[in-house]
Amino acid sequence: MDVSIVIVNYNTFEDTCNCIQSIYEQTKDIEFEIIVVDNQSSSFNPQEFKNLFPTINLIISAENGGFAKGNNQGIEIAKGKYVLLLNPDTILKNNAIYFLWKEMEMDSTIGISTCHLEYGDGKIQYTARKFRTISWELLQLTQLYRFFPKEKRENTMLHHYFPHDRKMECDWVSGACMLIRMEAINKLPQQHLSDIFFMYVEDALWCWQIKQLGYNVMFFPEGRIVHYEHKSLDKEKLKRLYNVINTNTLIFSKQYYKGIKWYIFASIYLFKQKLINIFR
């Protein structure tokens, strides 16, 4: 088996069905399986997935353990050499999974990769990113990156400073579409992805852990996927989301900053976020 595709669903029946259908329509030249993990949905009967797609593997979880635990449930039964974590609110526009698989087959140093993601309106979703560090936060806060030559600015900052038009080694990529080498997962201490976060920032943590094993994280532009992210969130829900992201970011940053350095980072990061909220 080349790739095991894990989709974690929670009350998104229509989106998940559209995602599965696009996989079957677009994916060619590799052997794959689809594993749907239902996180205790209440708006429909999860067995409906099997009625529409009899060949998928369906896991009906006894609890909603969140995005990370849901993916780990899928990984536990995955048979592929690679595991693709794919959000249910995504649609493949081309043979994206094959393109990622091909790149990782050619380079055994790659532990995680992703492709070009875009929002429903066609705008780029900036998925190739750097870890939030003291230097990165200061460069963004002071705008000193503006004095860098174009290529250096893009390579140093990534995120929305990088046009996502060429392959790029990065620190972390979005968990909305993340192809992971199963060999790397098996080398992790628990032999599964960390699930300390219910959701958000877990993708950065996973990339950090895989990089600590000596693997690279890569972005490749050839594959194309639409990601309808947060399309139904109101302002209050977005505010709570940002609070969760900020909290998890501070927890994650303790992976590489200890003691006084962590307090320096936290002060800069929270100050910058306060400024963003004021202007938002």
Range of the domain at 186: 3-128+164-232
Selected residue with higher pLDDT from 279 and 110:
110
The identity of residue 175, as a single letter, is G
Going by C-alpha positions, the residue among 106, 64, 113 that lies closest to residue 84 is 113
Residue 277 pLDDT grade (very low, low, confident, very high; cuts 50, 70, 90):
confident
Neighbouring C-alpha atoms within 13 Å toward the C-beta of 177: 31
The pair of structure tokens assigned to 216 is 């690279």
The tens digit of pLDDT for each residue in 262-275 reads 999 999 999 999 88
Query: What does the alpha-carbon distance between residue 172 and residue 112 come to, in Å, rounded to a whole number?
Result: 9
Whole-number pLDDT of residue 62: 84
Give the list of residues 6+ apart from residue 26 with CB closer than 8 angstroms, or none: 92, 93, 94, 95, 96, 97
E strand or H helix that includes residue 196? none
Whole-number pLDDT of residue 280: 63
In the predicted model, is pLDDT for residue 173 greater than 90? yes
In the predicted model, is pLDDT for residue 43 greater than 90? no
The tens digit of pLDDT for each residue in 212-261 reads 999 999 999 999 999 997 554 566 777 788 899 999 999 999 999 999 99
User: Does residue 141 belong to any structural domain of this protein?
Assistant: no
- φ, ψ dihedrals at 58, nearest 5°: -115, 125
In the predicted model, is pLDDT for residue 54 greater than 90? yes
Lowest-confidence pick of 39-53, 73-87, 160-174, 208-222: 39-53
User: Does residue 136 belong to any structural domain of this protein?
Assistant: no
In the predicted model, is pLDDT for residue 204 greater than 60? yes
Beta bridge mates, 58: 36
Lowest-confidence pick of 51-55, 201-205, 216-220, 227-231: 227-231
Average pLDDT over the chain, rounded to whole?
94
CATH code for position 11: 3.90.550.10
Percent of the chain with pLDDT over 90: 86
Whole-number pLDDT of residue 241: 85
In the predicted model, is pLDDT for residue 36 greater than 90? yes
User: Does residue 168 belong to any structural domain of this protein?
Assistant: yes
DSSP annotation string for 210-223: HHHTT-EEEEEEEE
- Report yes or no: 215 and 181 within 8 Å, Cβ to Cβ: yes
User: Does residue 7 belong to any structural domain of this protein?
Assistant: yes
User: Does residue 209 belong to any structural domain of this protein?
Assistant: yes
- φ, ψ dihedrals at 225, nearest 5°: -135, 135
User: Does residue 152 belong to any structural domain of this protein?
Assistant: no
User: Does residue 53 belong to any structural domain of this protein?
Assistant: yes
Whole-number pLDDT of residue 63: 87
- Report yes or no: 179 and 114 within 8 Å, Cβ to Cβ: yes
E strand or H helix that includes residue 115? strand 110-118
The tens digit of pLDDT for each residue in 109-151 reads 999 999 999 999 999 999 999 999 999 999 999 999 999 999 9
User: Does residue 39 belong to any structural domain of this protein?
Assistant: yes
Whole-number pLDDT of residue 95: 98
Domain count, the chain: 1
In the predicted model, is pLDDT for residue 175 greater than 90? yes
